[in-house]
Amino acid sequence: MDGEWHSALPDGRRVEVRREGEYWVVTCGESRERSDNLDVALARVLRAEIGTEVHAHKFDYPTWIRHAADELTPDE
């Protein structure tokens, strides 16, 4: 992935992902997380921004995270 990737969560909140060297930086609302693993950065930022809702069944966030990570890192 080069540059930035923008998407929206199932509930409509904007998500921005970018690569900084070996790290993935994910921003959603007021929350920003960084990790060398994209899945981890996505999960952390969602947990920070949404809280326990990430584990609620209203939206399938784990599947959304996996799909987004697969889309951005197809060869990894």
Phi, then psi, of 21 in degrees rounded to 5: 65, -125
Mean pLDDT over all residues of the chain? 82
pLDDT over 80 (residue 54) = no
The two tokens of residue 40 are: 């981890």
Alpha carbons 6 and 14: distance in angstroms, whole number = 7
State the pTM of this model.
0.75
| Largest distance between two CA atoms of the chain | 35
pLDDT in tens, 13-42: 899 999 999 999 999 989 999 999 999 999
pLDDT over 80 (residue 43) = yes
